A and B are shown apart, each in its own frame.
Chain A
Amino acid sequence: MQSSFARAAITFVGARIPRVRWDRFGAALGATLVAGPALAQDGGGKIDGADTAFMIAATALVLMMTLPGLALFYSGMVRKKNVLATMAQSLIATALVSLLWIGVAYSLAFSGEGAFIGDASRSLLAGIGIDTVSPFAKTIPEILFMLYQMTFAVITCALVAGSVAERMKFSAFMLFCALWLFIVYVPSAHWVWGGGFLQKMGLLDFAGGTVVHINAGIAGLVCALVLGSRVGFGRENLSPFDLSLAVVGTGLLWVGWFGFNGGSALAANSRAVFAIVATHLAACAGALVWSGLEWFQRGKPSVLGVISGAVAGLGTITPASGYVLPWHGVVIGMIAGGVCYWFCTVAKYKFRYDDTLDVFGVHGVGGIMGTLLAGVFATRAITASEGDPGVAGLLEGDPHQLYVQAIGVLVTIVWGVIGTLATLKIVSLITPLRVTYDDEREGLDIALHGEALHQ
């Protein structure tokens, strides 16, 4: 059921695979397997107990966002016959991406000096010992930094599934996760956080506006367009199975975001709290604005609207959270509530694309807006630290940062489109992406997993 757009798009794709230093990979592999305790390589920092304790907690919070936060959030919104299959996607993404992360993904993202990709020196966590510290997080163990970043990779892959809920094959999704991680996520993480060219250019992305939200949103949209709309989209009743599950999921996401944005300070300090405060206020503002718009336009404020507005606010503040003042968080949240509302309730039906759980409408659009708004609201007093004079945004009189943010957004979108199309093309050579019509009608729980909810 692929559209002609999909066929045209796929013909123009050539996959670009990052050049991996296989000689170094082999050496690292040998060192890990043969040597005894790994040699400690000091990144030049001293491990701090408070920072480490906080980051352990933050890591757990972010993992909780996927399991069970996202699993519940998504499953509550699909139809009963697809609830278990939707949860399975979050579960399998966690298992698969975690293992690939310690394999070579972490290394390619966060070690090495390349402008576009890292190296394989940290494959299988080679060289990471008890005292090792990453240059990107000098006061916590590198193994913790690796684990924290793992949870970000996991949730990004799990998020993409939302756009193609109720129609993607399980095997295709697993292959997609494995490939997309390396083709899109890892390079993007390297460019923005791992010493790559966007970071060197001064791009501000505190907790993942580009790496997580734009990537997930764009990938979701591309997948939704390539796989095509669900059977009955726009005609049949596709209403949610149980929104109370989605509400519980939202709560876990909202609380978990304290670790997602707060933990991105990589230290237990005041900046982490400023990030958390801006995050929480953005969620509240987003919820109220979306709700208010719906109340005004439709006559009733829906529960789905409240939770959607909150998540929109949370996603949008993400890249700006550690750079702005609390009241900026309120403004950013309000903008998110309004703009994402339009994308999810108007644009989707006007342009007829079945971005089922609004990954593009909330995370994609939110990530784009938030990354740009970071360039507007960046506040020198918040962004400054020892030896770093900080960055000012448009409001404080410096338009340059906004320009850098725009480049970051554009690069991320372009590579996201190319990389996702390439990934889908490769996967489709191995297995069909979409389930059959009969399986879609019967429901993915039975068709893909042989299980059912007996409610």
Chain B
Amino acid sequence: MKIITAIIKPFKLDEVREALTEIGVHGMTATEVKGYGRQKGHAEIYRGAEYIVAFLPKVKIDIALPEALVDRAIEAIRLAAYTGHIGDGKIFVSPLERAMRIRTGETDFDAL
């Protein structure tokens, strides 16, 4: 089992969700986050007080899935989240040790 964490531009969330549903991924968690990489932040001015804000709004999605689906999921996310401009985001894959569905008690593959 693996867990994919992807940081994407907020307006891409629906597209990514649809793309993942098509390949058989039927659940995910989305969080609103702030982040930066190569994309530059912006300046905000409040009555003469100027702040350079490096952090930009992003959306982070976490998906737990069987190893067999990982390659297709990465491809689906990348295609859906792509714009070609700096700031498109990143995809990370980590090993997932255990999983359980709370309602039924099913574990590991049956829980995904």
1/0 contact trace for A232-256 toward B, CB 8 Å?
0000011110000000000000000
B86 CB contacts on chain A under 8 angstroms: none
Number of interface residues of B (CB under 8 A): 8
Contact present for B48 and A348 (CB under 8 Å): yes
The distance from the CB of A68 to the nearest CB of chain B, in whole angstroms, is 22
The distance from the CB of A337 to the nearest CB of chain B, in whole angstroms, is 13
A431 interface contact, C-beta 8 A: no
A190 to B47, CA, bound (A): 35
Q: How many contacts between A and B, using CB within 8 angstroms?
A: 26
CB-based nearest B residue for A345:
B48
Chain B interface: which of A40-48, A135-143, A280-288, A300-308?
Answer: A300-308
B46 CB contacts on chain A under 8 angstroms: 77, 239-240, 302, 304
1/0 contact trace for B44-73 toward A, CB 8 Å?
111111010100000000000000000000
A346 to B48, CA, bound (A): 7
A358 interface contact, C-beta 8 A: yes
Contact present for A308 and B48 (CB under 8 Å): no
The distance from the CB of A366 to the nearest CB of chain B, in whole angstroms, is 15
Number of interface residues of A (CB under 8 A): 17
CB-based nearest B residue for A290:
B47
Contact present for B51 and A237 (CB under 8 Å): yes
A302 to B46, CA, bound (A): 8
CB-based nearest B residue for A236:
B51
A77 to B51, CA, bound (A): 15
1/0 contact trace for A293-325 toward B, CB 8 Å?
000001010101100100000000000000000
Contact present for B49 and A308 (CB under 8 Å): no
CB interface residues, A 181-209, toward B, < 8 Å = none
**26 A/B residue pairs, CB under 8 Å, sorted by A:** A77-B46, A237-B51, A237-B53, A238-B49, A239-B44, A239-B46, A239-B49, A239-B51, A240-B46, A298-B45, A300-B45, A302-B45, A302-B46, A304-B46, A304-B47, A305-B47, A308-B47, A344-B47, A344-B48, A345-B47, A345-B48, A346-B48, A348-B48, A349-B48, A349-B49, A358-B47
